Each structure stands twice: as structure tokens, then as C-alpha cells.
């Protein structure tokens, strides 16, 4: 498949990349044209990141070549690629949060006079540049004082100013809300109109259809196809990604109000000043309580209080009818709680530890220092749960950091299942996970419910919340504002509850001038 | 009360003694800025200085700089402000003294450097009292030449910290002395960092490298502590230090004298902790007689052997803080 | 409650794999470096491996390497645990001095040697607990927290000895430093015992895994219910205890407590030993025996320089050159190079197939 594209701005031909004995990319060709948004799709582990890292100079290919405007190029590193016009913006904004917006825009190439940074000039130029991106903000403020969306746009502006031919966007919308995504898309469309070639990586299919002109699909390190999006529909794309027909049966019916068992945990008046207003909530055996609300509404903070990560300053916790003291996660684990945190990399994964060790670590912590699980027990446990959750790893002795995001999430889930929990908190369990793994996680949640666990699941995706929740609590402004049951567990009702007052999360979008 | 009587008595005694030398430092106030107490020798220098001052009826103001030049400069400025009659300084480093020494000169206060020199114009201080490190090495070398009396002798050398001036000078003095003879050869030389532990370790290596010590006739250590370590290594190797292998070193700390008593060390060249005595004598002559001393006063590098009452020397030094 | 279970074949480790891992361990660059250094020593001094029996003990350069490497190796054992938690303990050299001073002053003051040893070890433990408290309760960065005791500790030791070298003749203390058990120097026997005990303690219990987890990701460790603070306290206390043990050995060796010089800069050698042994300063995976090997590499080099007859001015140059070489050999860069050579063949063959 080494079809050549005469119009190509940036082209990869027959790329091969090998890690150890694993072929991360096998004869992959890809062509980006000027003035197009080209989506790159694939499950985690399909080879998207590897391809991008080769195109931007972070990796060197073991075979094939990269061409820029028809001429072969070999980038030493991302900086070198940048100097040739290829800029990258990652999901996590890669700038300095405690420096000003203007400094961030010009970091590393500040206009200077006699070795001194020309502050005024930087600020004026920064303002002018950002206005063309629809941002009219005080560029002297610290970057961190703005919303993620604004930071993202600053990162894009920086990349475009530095490079100007090709822009790679690696999951730029993962932490944005609806309005912010729209704002970002406007910026991307205007860049496209300026003739930039844009590579767009995301997990959201609807965004691909809304924004991209063409799509290239990778699976297991091979290229499946490149299509204009006018030629294909969602089902086609999913089929190509997964290599099979999957039915997304998110809208299970008859779940809401279904019978459930005895209360397994009760949080009475639990709260912490400045974090979450006191709330009272029961979770029953065999029940999933979904949590909806915008980013920053206090969803995660609620979970942290339950698990003893933050110390509650009011309220009691009752487990199986008996009062429980939970002042730290160790006590929460002892009480039979488990918590899959939102930020896998920061709070969940022990990157250098093996898959096996990552699975047994919580159980081991619960058992204490001196009751060590022996190797056979570890292998048995890890094998059992890896199999139950279909964790795909070459072996369980490999470092968990080599797994894809979806598999890492399953490892953390397995870690908690291994302690035989009665109550499980999942904070955005499907974030940043490919479609296939996504569906599996949703299936697993349902299965755990059937097995009698109490679950508390935070998610931004309403369809998903509706699919597995018996009940939905809605958070707004750090308060629990609604508890929806029965027929009310529906996307439109949740949206209404979230928007219950006219006070929208203005702060998130206020800076984005129209 | 008792203290005052004692002081008065001491002063009277000192006055009596110094009348003989037709000069007197009784009642003079002298500031002493000491480096710190990083070694036993340093502690001994401090206690000897204090007793020398007491002997002469001097009111000694003592300041411990704890290895910091800024503390010394602060102390000297304090002495100047108090209007002392003279200042003794054991400088922690050699540079950066011009300003504060200039201030002392302006205030007409003579400064005497103890033990170490400074990189400053010579008219900024009265004199410096120090030992001659090259000569120390030479005295040790000469003792060995005399002792082996023409017989062939292979020497191993335990050097001080690489690059330090005592290490360089004590090596040079010894080399110059034995270099003239054909029968004495330094066959191995390594640094023992002036410590017992390293002295022992290096000596162990030497003994192994020289056929279990059979080829070694003498060990020359740049300080006594390394020699003490070397003595243990020699004993561990099944040899008799002091007879199978001669041990000569420099400093004259109490432990080397007790080793001499046991017959395990042969000789040491004393680095006297009494730098203050000559300094006070020079100040006496200057303040009372108006005679400026030489710019450098060299202390005696006295050789002690097993014949020089090591037990007595040990007892005399034991209480000095070594 | 039944968990989702599937019929699983927990893929038992084939015995061949275990076997291979032992061989692989022996093929590590550290062992290679140690062998090369010993070979160089032998070239410089043909009697290097000659070991004789003398006065009821083994006697020879190889024994010297073991004996002289012991204080740093013991420090490195404690340091390994600390570094595995992503920390570092700069105070161990000073703690050595404090412990040695404590024991020396106790026995010269007429107390029994057993009491003196106990007091010295307790002092080391206390010093370690102090470090651990600064790191956990006050959340001070380990390098700063332990710097406090590194600076103050030596002063403390000098206060105990009143600035002089306190010599002693107590046979028990001297035995710890210079005696022999079954022909081996006592320090070496202590080291072997400590290495085995510590390795068992971290690998037969969950401590090793939990320490690694805390070092790799402290936040995730907290989320997983690991009591990180208690673990850190234990680790720093253990490092203090190891330092005290090393301090006793060094004092016993020279029959005196030298507050100014005992353990001076040895914390750096200990850190180097841990790094040479392959434990990352970024925490995580660690190996106690490999750190001991690291310490012996350093000592083999020191002894080599000692018997080589080079002028001492070259000591540091030679030392740093060898260390750079070892670190380069075990760097990912070198590993990549080796791996690439290893893997070059198969892809080529495949291309050949296709053609």
C-alpha cells in the first residue's frame, strides 16, 4: 500500500517501527494534504501515537520514509520537525502553567534586544496573534488562570506560529466541554482555510464527522483504509476500526428502578468546606449510581471524600449498617471500597511495575506488609482477573506502562476486583479509551452490578451514564442538586438538572470572545 | 572571688616572669580568631594559646569561626571595635583579607597570623608564626637516614590529602633528604587523606603489594593519625611495627607517643601547637620595645624518638585536647 | 459474591525461564564490570588473587576488597531502600560518625560493650526516624531533610567526642571492626548476613513491592491504600540503622572514633554504589544484592588504584573515568545498541522472504 499522493504536504511511505519483538507499525502509508483536516482513527494500540511520533520526529522509523512537500526528510527530534513546519499539540497542554500567556507563546524564541527579552513587544505580538484565534484575553495573566480550552488554543497558536505547515492535534478535545469544543473547531477550520494540513486524533466519532475531510484508520499497526468522510458513515468507520460489527446497545431499558439489594454504604451529610457541600447518599448492593455534572461541578471531589483522599469535615459513613471511619484510602480499602481514579497515569498506574503487580497491589496493601502474596497466588490472581476483563498483554510480567490506555484502565479495575470490594468508585472509567475497550468497560460495569456490587460511576458521557445507572445524581456548583430515578434517568432530564439554574459554568468559556 | 584571686595571682606571676625579660604583656587585651576545632591539633593549639595567654597575664578574647571566613572577619571587626591591643588570626583561607587587615592597620592594631599565611600585602600584618612543613619532612628523612645507617631501605609513603600544602611540602622535604642517599628508596606512595582509616587501608594495600610486607623497611606518614592506622595494618599482617617495619611520621599527637611507648612507632616530628608563645613574644617586643619582628617566625620542628621519654610526652599532651 | 471467573491457566513459569534469569543476572553489566576490574587488578598486581591462611583468617587483596568495601556496602543497603522510594539520605556519613562516637565514649566511660553497641545502633535508628519524620510529617524533600543531619550530625559527633579521636581498647568493639569469623573478617560476615536478611525481608514480605510502588508513584500508592508514610519512616530508620552499623565497624577498625573523618563523603559513595548497582535515582525497582555488588565495584577500583602504584594525583581521574564507563554500559543507550544488534537479523530475513 505505497500509493503516492501527488498533492501530499506530509507523507509517510511504508513506515515500519519495531519495539522489541513487537511491530508497532507495519508498512503504514499516510498522506496529508494542505488545507485538509485528516482524522487518524484506531483503537488504543492501533499505532496512531507511534505514527504521529514518527511524523513529528520523536521516533525514527525502522523502515520506510517520511516526505515533506515531496522531499524525503529525517527529523532528529520534534524541535527539528517544528523548524520544518510541523507542530504538535497534545491532550495535556504542554506549556508552563505559571508563566504568562505571552511568555508561553514565545517561549524559547523570544524576540530579544541585546540579550534581553522584549516584554512589551512580546505582549503586543501575543495579543495580535490570539485575536486572530478569537481570543481577546490579558496575555500578561498566568496561563493557568485560564480554562483548559483557552490553554489549548494558546498551545495551538504557539504550534502554528512556530511551524505553520502541519498541525498535529492529539486528542485536543478530551478535557473540553461542548461549547469549548465548538470554539476549538472554529479555530481549526480557520487554520484549515489558511492552508494548513491538520492531523486530528480523537476518540469521538461525531467530532470526526463534524470536522474532518478525510479519515485514515489503523488497526494493529496496519493501515486499514483512507476515505473521504463523504464516502463513509459511522458504522463503516467503527467496523474498520474494530474489524467486526459491534452493536452499541447503550440504551438498555428497564434498568432504571430495577430491584436492588440492601444498602451497602451510606454517606450521611458528608462534606468538606470549599470542596463539596454536605450530601447524603445510599448505594445499594447491585446498584449503579451514576454521577453527572460538568467538569468542576464537584463530582470528583465527592468521590475523593468517600474514599478518604480528602478529609471530610462533616458527616458519617456507614458500611453494611455499621459506622465506619474513613480518614485515608487505606481505611477505605479496609472497608471494602475501591476507586479507579480519573487520571490513570497520575493516580492509578505504577508504570514500571508489572501488569501482575499492578493487579495485586491493592490486595497486598490490604493484607499488610508481612502477609505477602506468593508468586503463585499473584500469577493466579492476575491471570484470573486479566482474563475476566480481557486485559490484552503479551505477558503479565511486562511493565504496565507498555499497555494501551484501555488495558491500563482494565488493570486498575482488576486491581480493585481483586480485593473483592463491596463498593466501587469509578471516575470517568471510559475517558481516553478506544471504542472497543469503551464498550467492554460498560459491559463490565453492568456485570459487576449483576454480581451485587454497589457502584458509583462518574462520567461526562450522558448516553453512557443512562446506559448503566439505576439512579443518577447530578452535581452543580459543588452541590448535589438532583437525584433522578425511574423514568427520569434520561439524557434530556439530566441536561435539565445540570442546567437547572441559569448559572452556567461561565468561567470556562467567558474568555472565549465570539 | 576565687577566679579573680587566681587571675591576679597569675598576672602577678607573669609580671614577675616578664620583668626578667624587661617587657610585659600583663593586662593587655588580645583577640584570637581561631578557625574552629576540626582536628585534635587545632584543639590543642587553642588550649595552648589560652594557657600561654594566662601565663603572661593577657586578657585573651577568643572567637571560634567554625570554619567560616565571614565569621573570622566579623570577629576581627569586633576586636577592632573593642580596641584590643593586638589580634591573633589563624586564617581559614588565604585570600580575601586585605580589607579587614587594612581596617586593623588603620586602627593601629598589630595582627599576627598563626599557623597559615595569607595572600595579602605584608605591611598589613605584623608577622606570621608557622612551622616549616618542608623542614618537618626533612627532619623525618634525616632520622631515617641516620637510623638505617647506610643499609638498603625501601620506604612506603602515606601522603596527606592530594593537593594540600602539608602533603606537598612534607613530601618534598622527605624526598629532598633521602634523595641524596642511594640506599633509601620510596617504592610506593599513596594518599591516606590524613585519616587513620585511610592510612590503615592504604597500608594494607602496600603490604599485599610488597609480598606481605617483606620488602618494606619503613613507612613514612605525613601525619601521626595515618601512622597509627598503618601500625594496625602492619600488626594485622603479622609483622611488628617499630622493628620489622620502621614507622616515622609528623605532628606529635598523644597517640603516637603511646605507640612509641609500646615500641610500635619509632619517631615523630612535632608540629608544635604552641604558635601563640612566639607570637606573644613578638608582640611583647613590638609593643614594649618597638622592634618589629621578622615577617615570618618559624617554629621548631623537633624530633621525638623512643628515647625521648614518650610516656612523659604523652602525659604532657593528653590534656591539651588532641 | 462471586467474581467473574474464567478458567485460567495461570501460565506457570517454565523452569527454563527461571534458569535463564539467573544466567541473565550474572550477565549484567555490573558483574562484567566487577570481573573486568578484578582482572585489571590482577594484571597490575599478579598476587591479587593469592589468598593465604594466616593467624586463623583468610589474608589477601581479595579479602581486603571485601573488607574495605563493607562500610559503603552496608550504607548502600540502607540507601537502596531509601532511593527506591524516590528519596535519598545524605546524612548516613554523619550518622556513622555519631554512632562510632557514641560507642567509643560509652566504652571509655566504663559501660559494657554490649550496651555501647546497643546505644550506637539506637542512636542510628533515632537519626533515621528523625529523617523519616521530616520527610513524611513535614513533607520536606528528602535531599533537604537529610542535609540537615548531614551538616548538624558531624557537629553532634564532635560534641560527643569533644573534638578529639576517642581511642578504646574494648575487645568486643575491636572485634566488630577487625575480628574474624570462620576465617572471614567480621565486617564481611556482618555484611553477608545483613544482605541476606534484608533481601529476605523485602522479598519474602510485601515490603519490597510496596516500597517500589511508593517510589514509582506515590499518589497512586495512596489511592491503592498503601500506608506510604509508615513505610517511609521504616525505610529511613533502616538507613539510619545501617549507617550506625557501618559506623561501629569503622570505629572498631581504627580502634577509635574519629568524629571529623569517620564516614566523611561516604554517603556519596553509597549513592554511587546504589546507582552502579542499577537502582534508579527516580525510585522504583531496586536490588539489595546488586547495590552490594556496586559497592564492591567501587572498592575493587579503589584497591586497584592503591596497588597500581599510580601517583595519587590520578586517583579521582581514574575513578571518575571508570564510573562513567560503567554508567554508560548500563544506560538505556547502550541497552538499545545491544538490542538493535540483537534484533537486526530477523526483520532482514522477513524482507528477504517477501522479495
Asked if C11's CB is within 8 angstroms of A351's CB, the reply is: no
pLDDT, tens digit (0-9, with 9 covering 90-100), for B134-187: 999 999 999 999 999 999 999 999 999 988 889 999 999 999 999 989 999 999
| C210/A contact by beta carbon, under 8 A | yes
How many domains in chain B?
A: 2
Asked if C313's CB is within 8 angstroms of B188's CB, the reply is: no
- Which residues does residue A340 pair with via DSSP β-bridges, in sequence order? A426
Asked if A63's CB is within 8 angstroms of C206's CB, the reply is: no
**Residue in C closest to B190 by C-alpha:** C312
Is C351 a residue whose pLDDT tops 60?
Answer: no
pLDDT band with cut points at 50, 70 and 90 for residue A112: low
Is B7 a residue whose pLDDT tops 70?
Answer: no
Asked if C163's CB is within 8 angstroms of B43's CB, the reply is: yes
SS3 category, B289: helix
Cβ-Cβ contacts under 8 Å between B and C: the total is 89
Structural domain that includes position C319 = 58-330
Sole residue written with cell 461549547: A179
Domains of chain A as residue ranges with CATH: 8-242 (3.40.50.300), 247-336+421-501 (3.40.50.300), 345-420 (no CATH)
pLDDT at C18: 45
Q: Which of B193, B205, B321 sits opposite C306 (nearest CB)?
A: B205
A470: left (phi over 0), alpha (psi -120 to 50) or beta: alpha
Structural domain that includes position B123 = 2-129+273-291
Cell of B213: 610486607
Residues B48 and B106 in one domain: yes
By C-alpha distance, which of A344, A267, A345, A365 is closest to A308?
A267
pLDDT at A252: 47
Sole residue written with cell 620595645: B289
Cell of C181: 569469623
Residues B158 and B206 in one domain: yes
- What are the φ and ψ backbone dihedral angles of A443, each rounded to 5 degrees? -60, -40
In this structure, what CATH number is given to the domain that contains residue C232? 1.10.3470
State how far the Cα of B157 lies from the Cα of C170, in Å rounded to an integer.
Answer: 30
Asked if A452's CB is within 8 angstroms of C10's CB, the reply is: no
Q: Which of A330, A353, A388 sits opposite C216 (nearest CB)?
A: A353
Q: Which of C162, C178, C256 sits opposite B236 (nearest CB)?
A: C178
Helix (H) / strand (E) containing A455:
strand A454-458
**Residue in C closest to A381 by C-alpha:** C10
* C177 occurs within a structural domain: yes
* C305 occurs within a structural domain: yes
- The minimum CA-CA distance between B83 and chain C, rounded to whole Å, is 32
Is A379 a residue whose pLDDT tops 50?
Answer: yes
* C320 occurs within a structural domain: yes
State how far the Cα of B97 lies from the Cα of C199, in Å rounded to an integer.
Answer: 55
Stretch C81-90: mean pLDDT, rounded?
97
Is A509 a residue whose pLDDT tops 80?
Answer: no
Residues B263 and B280 in one domain: no
Burial environment of residue A433 by CB neighbours within 10 A (0 to 12, 13 to 18, 19 or more): buried
pLDDT band with cut points at 50, 70 and 90 for residue C102: very high
Helix (H) / strand (E) containing C149:
helix C142-161
pLDDT, tens digit (0-9, with 9 covering 90-100), for A308-329: 999 999 999 999 989 999 999 9
Sole residue written with cell 520544518: A84
* C234 occurs within a structural domain: yes
* B302 occurs within a structural domain: no
Is C295 a residue whose pLDDT tops 80?
Answer: yes
Residues B264 and B278 in one domain: no
Is B132 a residue whose pLDDT tops 80?
Answer: yes
Residues B39 and B104 in one domain: yes
Cell of C222: 495512596
SS3 category, A218: strand
A220-226: long-range contacts at Cβ-Cβ below 8 A with a sequence spacing of 24 or more? A220/A45, A220/A46, A220/A47, A221/A23, A221/A24, A221/A25, A221/A26, A221/A28, A221/A46, A221/A47, A221/A50, A222/A26, A222/A27, A222/A28, A222/A47, A223/A1, A223/A27, A223/A28, A223/A29, A223/A30, A226/A30, A226/A31
pLDDT at C339: 61
- Residue B269: HSE in the Cβ half-sphere, 13 Å Cα cutoff: 27
How far is Cα of residue C97 from the mean position of the Cα atoms in its chain? 17
Residues B150 and B70 in one domain: no
State how far the Cα of A327 lies from the Cα of B91, in Å rounded to an integer.
Answer: 58
* B299 occurs within a structural domain: no
Asked if B211's CB is within 8 angstroms of C64's CB, the reply is: no
Is A77 a residue whose pLDDT tops 90?
Answer: no
Return the number of other C-beta atoms located less than 10 Å from residue C136's C-beta: 17
ipTM over cut 0.90: no
- Residues B285 and B293 sit within 8 Å (Cβ to Cβ): yes
- Give Cβ neighbours of residue A180 (< 8 Å, ≥ 6 apart): A147, A148, A149, A152, A173, A508, A509, A512
State how far the Cα of A337 lies from the Cα of A420, in Å rounded to an integer.
Answer: 9
Question: Which 8-state DSSP code applies to residue C312?
Answer: G
Residues B71 and B38 in one domain: yes
In this structure, what CATH number is given to the domain that contains residue B146? 3.40.50.2300
**Residue in C closest to B228 by C-alpha:** C254
Pick the range with the lowest mean pLDDT from A142-151, B266-275, C10-19.
Answer: C10-19
By C-alpha distance, which of A25, C306, C312 is closest to B205?
C306
Cell of C297: 565495584
- Residues B219 and B189 sit within 8 Å (Cβ to Cβ): no
Residues in chain C closer than 8 A to A16 (CB atoms): 347
State how far the Cα of B14 lies from the Cα of B5, in Å rounded to an integer.
Answer: 14
Between helices B224-236 and B196-209, what is the axis angle to 10°?
50
- Residues B188 and C307 sit within 8 Å (Cβ to Cβ): no
pLDDT at A5: 64
Mean of per-residue pLDDT scores for chain A: 84
pLDDT band with cut points at 50, 70 and 90 for residue B229: very high
Sole residue written with cell 472554529: A186
pLDDT at B72: 94
pLDDT band with cut points at 50, 70 and 90 for residue A132: confident
- Residues A396 and A382 sit within 8 Å (Cβ to Cβ): yes
pLDDT, tens digit (0-9, with 9 covering 90-100), for A228-278: 999 888 777 777 776 543 444 444 444 544 556 788 999 999 999 888 999
Cell of B173: 622535604
Asked if C285's CB is within 8 angstroms of A370's CB, the reply is: no
Is B41 a residue whose pLDDT tops 50?
Answer: yes
Strand order in the sheet with B111-114: B59-64, B29-34, B86-89, B111-114, B127-130, B296-298
Residues B70 and B162 in one domain: no
**Chain C adjacent subunits, 3+ CB pairs under 8 A:** A, B
Cell of B19: 620583668
Residues B283 and B231 in one domain: no
Pick the range with the lowest mean pLDDT from A98-112, A136-150, C141-155, C181-195.
Answer: A98-112
* B58 occurs within a structural domain: yes
- Residue A340: HSE in the Cβ half-sphere, 13 Å Cα cutoff: 30
pLDDT, tens digit (0-9, with 9 covering 90-100), for A390-420: 888 888 999 999 888 888 999 999 999 999 9
Is C152 a residue whose pLDDT tops 50?
Answer: yes
**Residue in C closest to A383 by C-alpha:** C10
How far is Cα of residue C36 from the mean position of the Cα atoms in its chain? 21
pLDDT at A148: 77
State how far the Cα of A153 lies from the Cα of A147, in Å rounded to an integer.
Answer: 10
Stretch B3-22: mean pLDDT, rounded?
44
- Which residues does residue B267 pair with via DSSP β-bridges, in sequence order? B248, B305
Return the number of other C-beta atoms located less than 10 Å from residue C336's C-beta: 10
How many domains in chain C?
A: 1
pTM, two decimals, is 0.76
pLDDT band with cut points at 50, 70 and 90 for residue A1: very low
Percentage of residues in chain A with pLDDT exceeding 70?
A: 86
Q: Which of C253, C262, C312 sits opposite B189 (nearest CB)?
A: C312
Is A155 a residue whose pLDDT tops 90?
Answer: no
* C39 occurs within a structural domain: no
* C194 occurs within a structural domain: yes
Greater model confidence, A179 or C174: C174
pLDDT band with cut points at 50, 70 and 90 for residue C16: very low
**Residue in A closest to C342 by C-alpha:** A20
- Residues B126 and B69 sit within 8 Å (Cβ to Cβ): no
State how far the Cα of A387 lies from the Cα of C207, in Å rounded to an integer.
Answer: 27
State how far the Cα of A207 lies from the Cα of B67, in Å rounded to an integer.
Answer: 69
Residues in chain B closer than 8 A to C55 (CB atoms): 238
* B319 occurs within a structural domain: no
pLDDT band with cut points at 50, 70 and 90 for residue C111: very high
Residues B221 and B260 in one domain: yes
- Residues C143 and C130 sit within 8 Å (Cβ to Cβ): no
By C-alpha distance, which of B181, B176, B184, B228 is closest to B202?
B228
Residues B36 and B53 in one domain: yes
Is A335 a residue whose pLDDT tops 90?
Answer: yes
State how far the Cα of B180 lies from the Cα of B30, in Å rounded to an integer.
Answer: 45
- Residue C321: HSE in the Cβ half-sphere, 13 Å Cα cutoff: 7
Amino acid at each position: 500500500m505505497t500509493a503516492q499522493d501527488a498533492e501530499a504536504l506530509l507523507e509517510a511511505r511504508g513506515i515500519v517501527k519495531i519495539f522489541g519483538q513487537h511491530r508497532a507499525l507495519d508498512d503504514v502509508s499516510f498522506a496529508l494534504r494542505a488545507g485538509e483536516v485528516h482524522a487518524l482513527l484506531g483503537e488504543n494500540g492501533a499505532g496512531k501515537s507511534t505514527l504521529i511520533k514518527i511524523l513529528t520526529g520523536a521516533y525514527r522509523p525502522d523502515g520506510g520514509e517520511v516526505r515533506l512537500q515531496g522531499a524525503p526528510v529525517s527529523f532528529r527530534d520534534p524541535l527539528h520537525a517544528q523548524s520544518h513546519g510541523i507542530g504538535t499539540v497534545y491532550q495535556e497542554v504542554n506549556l508552563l502553567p505559571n508563566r504568562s500567556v505571552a511568555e508561553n507563546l514565545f517561549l524559547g524564541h523570544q524576540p530579544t534586544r541585546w540579550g534581553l527579552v522584549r516584554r512589551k513587544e512580546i505582549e503586543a505580538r501575543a495579543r495580535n496573534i490570539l485575536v486572530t484565534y478569537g481570543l481577546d484575553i490579558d496575555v500578561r495573566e498566568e496561563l493557568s488562570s485560564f480554562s483548559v480550552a483557552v490553554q489549548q488554543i494558546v498551545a495551538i497558536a504557539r504550534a502554528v506560529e512556530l511551524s505553520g505547515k502541519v498541525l498535529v492535534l492529539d486528542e485536543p478535545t478530551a478535557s473540553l466541554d461542548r461549547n469549548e469544543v465548538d470554539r476549538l473547531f472554529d479555530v481549526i477550520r480557520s487554520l484549515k482555510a489558511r492552508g494548513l494540513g491538520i492531523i486530528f486524533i480523537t476518540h469521538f466519532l461525531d467530532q470526526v464527522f463534524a470536522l474532518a475531510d478525510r479519515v485514515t484508520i489503523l488497526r494493529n499497526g496496519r493501515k486499514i483504509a483512507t476515505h473521504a468522510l463523504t464516502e463513509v458513515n459511522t458504522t463503516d468507520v467503527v467496523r474498520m476500526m474494530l474489524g467486526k460489527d459491534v452493536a452499541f446497545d447503550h440504551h438498555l431499558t428497564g434498568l432504571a428502578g430495577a430491584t436492588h439489594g440492601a444498602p451497602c454504604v451510606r454517606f450521611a451529610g458528608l462534606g468538606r468546606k470549599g470542596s463539596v457541600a454536605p450530601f447524603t447518599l445510599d448505594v445499594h448492593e447491585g446498584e449503579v449510581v451514576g454521577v453527572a455534572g460538568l467538569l468542576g461541578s464537584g463530582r470528583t471531589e465527592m468521590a475523593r471524600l468517600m474514599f478518604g483522599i480528602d478529609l471530610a469535615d462533616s458527616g458519617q459513613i456507614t458500611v453494611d449498617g455499621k459506622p465506619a471511619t474513613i480518614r485515608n484510602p487505606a481505611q477505605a480499602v479496609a472497608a471494602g471500597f475501591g476507586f479507579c481514579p480519573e487520571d490513570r497515569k497520575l493516580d492509578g498506574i505504577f508504570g514500571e511495575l508489572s501488569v501482575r503487580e499492578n493487579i495485586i497491589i491493592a490486595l497486598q496493601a490490604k493484607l499488610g506488609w508481612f502477609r505477602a502474596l506468593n508468586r503463585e497466588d499473584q500469577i493466579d490472581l492476575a491471570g484470573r482477573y486479566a482474563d475476566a476483563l480481557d486485559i490484552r498483554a503479551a505477558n503479565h510480567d511486562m511493565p504496565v506502562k507498555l499497555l494501551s490506555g484501555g488495558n491500563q484502565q482494565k488493570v486498575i479495575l482488576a486491581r480493585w476486583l481483586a480485593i473483592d470490594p463491596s463498593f466501587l468508585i469509578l471516575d470517568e472509567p471510559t475517558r481516553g479509551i478506544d471504542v472497543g475497550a469503551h464498550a467492554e468497560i460498560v459491559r463490565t460495569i453492568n456485570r459487576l452490578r449483576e454480581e451485587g456490587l454497589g457502584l458509583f460511576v462518574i462520567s461526562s458521557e450522558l448516553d453512557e451514564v443512562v446506559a448503566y445507572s439505576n439512579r443518577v445524581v447530578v452535581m452543580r456548583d459543588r452541590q448535589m442538586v438532583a437525584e433522578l430515578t425511574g423514568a427520569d434517568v434520561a439524557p434530556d432530564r439530566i441536561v435539565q438538572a445540570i442546567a437547572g439554574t441559569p448559572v452556567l459554568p461561565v468561567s470556562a468559556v467567558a474568555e472565549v470572545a465570539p | 572571688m576565687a577566679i579573680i584571686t587566681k587571675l591576679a595571682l597569675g598576672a602577678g606571676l607573669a609580671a614577675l616572669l616578664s620583668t626578667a625579660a624587661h617587657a610585659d604583656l600583663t593586662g593587655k587585651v588580645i583577640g584570637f580568631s581561631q578557625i574552629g576545632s576540626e582536628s585534635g591539633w587545632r584543639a590543642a593549639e587553642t588550649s595552648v594559646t589560652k594557657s600561654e595567654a594566662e601565663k603572661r597575664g593577657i586578657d585573651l578574647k577568643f572567637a571560634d569561626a567554625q570554619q567560616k571566613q565571614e565569621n573570622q572577619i566579623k570577629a576581627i571587626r569586633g576586636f577592632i571595635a573593642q580596641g584590643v591591643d593586638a589580634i591573633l588570626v589563624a586564617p581559614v583561607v588565604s585570600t580575601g583579607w586585605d580589607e579587614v587587615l587594612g581596617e586593623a592597620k588603620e586602627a593601629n592594631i598589630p595582627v599576627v597570623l598563626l599557623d597559615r599565611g595569607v595572600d595579602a600585602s605584608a605591611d598589613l600584618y605584623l608577622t606570621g608564626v608557622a612551622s616549616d612543613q618542608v623542614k618537618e619532612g626533612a627532619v623525618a628523612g634525616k632520622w631515617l637516614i641516620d637510623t638505617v645507617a647506610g643499609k638498603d631501605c625501601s620506604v612506603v609513603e602515606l601522603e596527606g590529602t592530594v593537593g594540600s600544602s602539608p602533603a606537598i611540602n612534607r613530601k618534598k622535604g622527605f624526598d629532598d633528604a633521602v634523595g641524596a642517599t642511594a640506599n633509601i628508596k620510596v617504592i610506593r606512595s599513596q594518599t591516606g587523606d590524613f585519616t587513620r582509616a585511610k592510612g590503615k587501608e592504604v597500608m594494607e594495600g602496600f603490604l599485599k603489594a610488597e609480598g606481605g610486607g617483606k620488602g618494606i623497611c619503613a613507612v613514612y606518614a605525613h601525619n601521626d593519625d595515618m601512622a597509627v592506622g598503618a601500625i594496625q595494618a602492619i600488626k594485622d599482617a603479622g609483622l611488628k611495627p617499630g622493628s620489622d617495619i620502621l614507622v616515622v611520621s609528623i605532628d606529635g599527637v598523644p597517640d603516637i607517643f603511646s605507640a612509641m611507648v609500646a615500641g610500635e612507632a619509632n619517631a615523630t616530628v612535632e608540629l608544635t601547637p604552641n604558635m601563640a608563645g612566639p607570637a606573644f613574644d613578638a608582640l611583647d617586643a613590638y609593643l614594649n620595645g618597638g622592634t618589629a619582628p621578622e615577617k615570618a617566625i618559624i617554629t621548631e620542628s623537633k624530633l621525638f624518638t623512643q628515647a625521648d621519654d614518650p610516656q612523659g610526652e604523652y602525659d604532657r599532651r593528653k590534656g591539651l585536647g588532641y | 459474591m462471586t467474581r467473574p471467573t474464567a478458567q485460567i491457566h495461570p501460565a506457570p513459569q517454565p523452569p527454563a525461564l527461571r534458569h535463564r534469569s539467573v544466567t541473565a543476572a550474572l550477565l549484567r553489566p555490573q558483574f562484567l564490570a566487577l570481573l573486568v576490574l578484578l582482572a585489571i587488578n590482577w594484571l597490575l598486581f599478579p598476587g591479587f588473587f593469592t589468598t593465604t591462611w594466616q593467624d586463623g583468617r583468610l589474608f589477601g587483596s581479595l579479602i581486603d576488597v571485601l573488607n574495605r568495601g563493607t562500610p559503603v556496602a552496608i550504607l548502600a543497603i540502607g540507601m537502596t531502600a531509601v532511593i527506591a522510594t524516590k528519596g535519598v539520605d545524605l546524612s548516613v556519613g554523619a550518622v556513622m560518625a555519631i554512632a562510632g562516637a557514641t560507642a567509643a565514649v560509652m566504652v571509655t566511660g566504663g559501660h559494657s560493650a554490649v550496651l555501647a553497641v546497643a546505644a550506637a545502633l539506637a542512636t542510628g535508628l533515632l537519626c533515621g526516624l528523625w529523617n523519616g519524620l521530616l520527610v513524611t510529617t513535614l513533607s520536606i524533600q528528602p535531599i533537604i531533610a537529610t542535609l540537615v543531619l548531614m551538616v548538624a550530625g558531624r557537629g553532634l559527633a564532635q560534641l560527643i567526642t569533644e573534638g578529639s579521636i576517642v581511642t578504646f581498647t574494648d575487645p568486643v568493639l575491636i572485634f566488630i571492626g577487625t575480628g574474624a569469623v570462620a576465617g572471614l573478617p567480621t565486617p564481611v560476615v556482618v555484611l553477608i548476613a545483613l544482605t541476606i536478611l534484608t533481601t529476605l525481608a523485602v522479598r519474602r514480605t510485601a515490603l519490597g513491592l510496596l516500597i517500589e510502588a511508593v517510589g514509582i508513584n506515590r499518589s497512586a500508592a495512596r489511592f491503592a491504600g498503601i500506608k506510604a508514610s509508615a513505610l517511609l519512616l521504616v525505610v529511613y530508620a533502616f538507613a539510619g540503622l545501617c549507617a550506625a552499623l557501618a559506623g561501629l565497624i569503622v570505629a572498631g577498625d581504627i580502634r577509635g572514633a574519629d568524629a571529623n573523618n569517620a564516614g566523611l563523603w561516604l554517603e556519596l559513595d553509597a549513592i554511587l554504589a546504589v546507582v552502579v548497582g542499577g537502582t534508579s535515582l527516580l525510585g522504583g525497582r531496586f536490588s539489595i544484592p546488586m547495590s552490594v555488588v556496586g559497592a564492591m565495584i567501587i572498592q575493587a577500583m579503589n584497591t586497584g588504584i592503591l596497588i597500581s602504584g599510580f601517583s595519587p594525583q590520578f586517583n579521582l581521574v581514574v575513578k571518575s573515568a571508570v564510573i562513567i564507563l560503567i554508567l554508560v554500559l548500563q544506560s538505556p543507550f547502550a541497552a538499545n545498541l545491544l538490542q538493535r544488534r540483537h534484533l537486526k537479523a530477523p526483520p532482514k530475513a522477513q524482507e528477504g522472504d517477501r522479495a
